[in-house]
Amino acid sequence: MTEHILRMSGITKTFPGVKALQDVNLSVRRGEIHAICGENGAGKSTLMKVLSGVYPHGDYEGEITFEGKRCEFGGIRDSEHAGIVIIHQELALSPQLSIAENIFLGNERARRGVIDWNRTNYEAGELMKRVGLRENPTTPIADIGVGKQQLVEIAKALSKEVKLLILDEPTAALNDDDSAHLLDLLRGLRDEGITCVIISHKLNEVIAIADSVTIIRDGRTIETLDMADDHVTEDRIISGMVGRALDNRFPPHEADIGEEAFRIEDWTVHSPSQPGRKVVDGASLTLRRGEIVGLAGLMGAGRTELAMSVFGRTYGVNISGRLFKDGKPIDIRNVQDAIRHGVAYATEDRKRYGLNLIEDIKRNISAAGLKGLSSRGWVNENEEYRVAEGFRKSMNIKAPGVTSVVGKLSGGNQQKVVLSKWILTEPDVLILDEPTRGIDVGAKYEIYTIINRLADQGKAVLVISSELPELLGLCDRIYTLSEGRITGEVPRGEATQERLMYLMTKGQE
Amino acid sequence: MSSITPADVAVGATGDGGAPRQPGRVSLGGLSVNLRSSGIYIAFALIIVLFSVLTDGALLQPQNISNIIVQNSYVLILAIGMILIIIAGHIDLSVGSVVAVTGALAAVLMVNMGVAWPLALLITIIAGGVIGAWQGYWIAYFGIPAFIVTLAGMLLFRALTLTVLGNQGIGPFPDQVRTLANGFTDGYLGNIGLGPLGGADLFSLLIGIIAIAGMVLAQWRTRGARKGYGQAVEPVALFVLKMAAGAALILFVVVQLARFKNLPWVLVLLAVLVLAYSLMANRTVFGRQIYAIGGNLQAAVMSGVKVKSVVFWIFVNMGVLSAIAGVIFAGRLNQAGPTAGNSFELDAIAAAFIGGAAVQGGVGKVVGAITGGLIMAVINNGMSLIGSPSERVMLVKGIVLLAAVAFDVWTKRRTGASR
């Protein structure tokens, strides 16, 4: 069992300005299930993209040896040809085509260009038996659940005679039954001799299924552990994932915490795409004036979904629960209501949800607060200019003027425009979703300073972040969210990365 | 993790890439020109010069200028509504059919039923609004792409026109309607001699002078207010130059018109519409929201823009403008015909895109669409003056449309604004 099917050594991948991977090594033994663990943004997905040829040879440094041969993949086709198949978190299935058609998509069972439907459906049926999928091969993908769709992806991989199967967060979107079935299936495939690499945030699953685990942090390999020999526990993995010291990256802040400003009670949100699945499940949280509250959770825990559903029901269906502002119940049915009640939400995806990239700074800043700058429907453009110019100076937005187009600013400056836009609406409650994502360290410090300033003005701030050090350095109190449920509330003094990570990975009992 | 001290990154320190440069701009001795937004006006000037030379100056003769305006007024009115729809990221293919059906309605009311013309006009305009509301409902609230809804509308309203009219036209229209569509202001104040240019209508000249004075005054006041708010304004010399150019253009057109048959009423109407809609697009919350929707729909939703309502109302507006164009077109021909408005939608869409609208939405100006419409009008008129066959005119218009959009896409790619 010591033969290695895959060796990646010295992998370094650089994006403009960022080293995503630095001298990463990964060795996977034949016939094992190998887990890769790391925080969001640690570089797991980038590593898998290097392996599967999404980033072609020459785009990275280092060597890949698969089945004893050096590999230089020019694209996904090459890696699939070698027997490496990757199943992404977002499934790549065509919803209107049948299960059988999807399994053989791009690999059709055809004779002289004409599809042999009998053979297609028969062979699909055989593959579906192997993965335990009891459906008619002609059923459209859209008519089966996500759990079953995942099985279709695996059947598709098997049809390509896969030797190494990579699964990126395979159970993130699945319920417990489907997850259990999937893990059983992976064990079965291992026994058939197929090697699996699984990326997962759910450490209990990793413990349950993996034979060995590689931990990646900040784009570097930290260690590879053998589950049995090293007596690996969840705590052992967590300390590997977070083990770094906090340095002086946060401005000092004395919080002056006042009355309760905003309360969410028993908030439940259902997924719009998978009816019946609860994305947020009975969450309750309280924000107080002058307080910076953190919301920690791994990808798929429901953080953004919680925030957006509260902010004018911009996400989800069948939303239930109660909202209170200053102790009084309020009803927020749309974004206009939210703004009227003094609630602001700065999105995690600036370019998609936050900014009009083709417009200039001043028109972006005024986009949500235009009412305050106009009378009887007419915008006071001079006032708009003055206000925008004021924000440019106070927020230190680096641009020649407020008529510069926002699409050309750096991430940090774009984020300052988004924050300015919401501050202009004079909110009492600010929900900041990943406020420092994609921003360099210097600009992060400025964003933290702004957040502190907002709290000092008596506003309640909720910060959603994947970076635990950021929450620890910034927040007075931190909630943890796991699989849509609030699993903990930790005051500043008691918060450690290990404790948070434990709460964030706590599954449902 | 590099160690950095707070002092290095305190607010106020530079270190975030610095000021971005602005590509896509050409600097001419301190005069900064944005190619993407002013290229259209330069192109318009060049086309006028080209055809003036090719036609030995016939293009700019008084009667010809008058013809260009009167013959294209309805497309220009449609272009105003169309640019708003395109800025919001939609399209309207039905306007030609709506022109036909509203023209037919006006004819039935005025000619067959003898309804007084002001009332008939009002009813027709309301009917246009109802048609727009019908389409706006399906697009904004039901969520069907505008392309489909208005393609259906194109068939529906043409069918309705044919049902009402059968195979023949209805006419003639009352004199007042014909005057609005085809007529000129009276010489209220008599003529005045302009030396070698001969006699010209004093009233038209006065209107022109008032228009120029109004423009200069408004611009001067805007400039003053900006200065008061500490904004950078262009130097006085440049301001004077710009105003002089604008005044010369207006004066030239007005003098030519005054020498012919005075001001066409449709020009007066058009000028009012252009002014009103330009102000609406730039200075009102509603106008801003149209740009926000087209620029980034999701960001607009997340900023509290009532997207459905805005989209609904721009289609209502398109219906109203189509009805106005419908009455003017029918009045000009002095009958409402079953083929009225054929392919007007394409002219209006082409005008908007030639005038600088972006295919993805979010960009465009009312004045740009008018200029785009005038470019097509001048090409049409100029080529027919030099005796080109209609297929060649079509060919040139097709190439101009493609070139204009290609230029837009190219400048965008070069400046990287589309990322």
pLDDT digits (tens, 9 = 90+) for B319-342: 999 999 999 999 999 999 999 999
Indicate whether A82 and A176 sit together in one domain. Answer: yes
Task: Count how many domains chain A has.
Answer: 3
How many CA atoms within 13 Å lie on the side-chain side of A228?
A: 4
In a domain, A380, yes or no: yes
Q: Is the ipTM of this complex over 0.85?
A: no
pLDDT in tens, B256-291: 898 888 889 999 999 999 999 999 999 999 999 999
CATH of residue A495:
3.40.50.300
Averaged over successive runs of 10 residues, the pLDDT of chain A (509 residues) comes to: 82 76 90 87 83 87 90 87 86 88 87 88 91 89 85 89 88 77 90 90 85 88 86 82 64 88 95 85 94 89 92 91 94 94 92 91 94 91 92 89 86 91 95 84 84 94 89 93 92 90 75
What is the Cα–Cα distance from A52 to A60, expressed in whole angstroms?
13
**How high is the pLDDT of residue A68?**
87
Domain boundary residue, one of A382, A403, A426: A426
Domain boundary residue, one of A407, A426, A445: A426
The reply to whether B7 touches chain A by the CB within 8 Å rule is no
Provide, rounded to the nearest whole percent, the portion of chain B with pLDDT above 90: 65
In a domain, A450, yes or no: no
User: Are β-strands A18-29 and A212-217 bridged in parallel, bridged antiparallel, or unpaired?
Assistant: unpaired
Indicate whether A204 and A331 sit together in one domain. Answer: no
Domain B37-183+287-412 has CATH 2.40.128: no
Tell me which chain B residue has its CA closest to the CA of residue A308: B302
A382 with B225: Cβ contact below 8 A:
yes
Indicate whether A353 and A338 sit together in one domain. Answer: no
**How high is the pLDDT of residue B419?**
34
Indicate whether A162 and A238 sit together in one domain. Answer: yes
Indicate whether A88 and A194 sit together in one domain. Answer: yes
**Other Cβ atoms closer than 10 A to B247:** 17
A-chain residues within 8 Å CB-CB of B11? 396, 446, 449-450
**How high is the pLDDT of residue A4?**
87
What are the boundaries of each domain within chain B? 37-183+287-412, 188-263
Indicate whether A214 and A296 sit together in one domain. Answer: no
Burial of A349 (0-12, 13-18, 19+ CB in 10 A): middle
Residue of B15, B33, B16 whose CA lies nearest to B24? B33
**Closest Cβ opposite residue A446 in set B9, B230, B232:** B9
pLDDT in tens, A264-311: 999 999 988 777 888 999 999 999 999 999 999 887 788 999 999 999
For an interface test with B, the pick among A218, A335, A353, A358 (most B C-beta atoms closer than 10 Å) comes out as A358
Global confidence as pTM: 0.80
pLDDT surpassing 70 at residue B35 = no
- The rounded mean pLDDT for chain B is 87
Crossing angle of the two packed helices B62-87 and B265-283, in degrees rounded to 10: 30
**How high is the pLDDT of residue B135?**
97
**How high is the pLDDT of residue B122?**
97
**How high is the pLDDT of residue A179?**
83
Indicate whether A150 and A165 sit together in one domain. Answer: yes
In a domain, A451, yes or no: no
pLDDT band at B298 (very low <50, low <70, confident <90, very high): very high
In a domain, A250, yes or no: no
**How high is the pLDDT of residue B29?**
46
pLDDT surpassing 80 at residue B8 = no
Within A125-259, strands assigned E span 164-168, 195-199, 212-217, 220-226
Tell me which chain A residue has its CA closest to the CA of residue B14: A398
Indicate whether A158 and A134 sit together in one domain. Answer: yes
The reply to whether A242 touches chain B by the CB within 8 Å rule is no
- Cβ proximity of B306 and B314 under 8 Å: no
If you ran DSSP here, which 8-state letter would residue A494 be given? G
What is the Cα–Cα distance from B419 to B89, expressed in whole angstroms?
17
pLDDT surpassing 50 at residue B13 = no
Torsion angle defined by CA atoms of residues B154, B160, B162 and B163, in that order, rounded to the nearest 10 degrees? 160
In a domain, A112, yes or no: yes
Q: Which residues of A312-326 are buried (b: 16+ CB within 10 A; e: fewer)?
A: bbbbbeeeebebebe
Indicate whether A52 and A184 sit together in one domain. Answer: yes
| Owning domain of residue A331 | 258-342+429-435+460-509
Q: Which of A159-173, B32-46, B360-374 ranks highest by mean pLDDT?
A: B360-374
Indicate whether A330 and A202 sit together in one domain. Answer: no
Does a cis peptide bond (omega within 30 degrees of 0) precede residue B172?
A: yes
Residues 385-424 of A with CB under 8 A from B: 385-386, 389, 396, 398-401, 404-405, 407-410, 412-413, 421
**How high is the pLDDT of residue A440?**
66
Q: What angle do CA B351, B353, B358 make, to 5 degrees?
A: 155
Indicate whether A338 and A354 sit together in one domain. Answer: no
For an interface test with A, the pick among B3, B11, B365 (most A C-beta atoms closer than 10 Å) comes out as B11
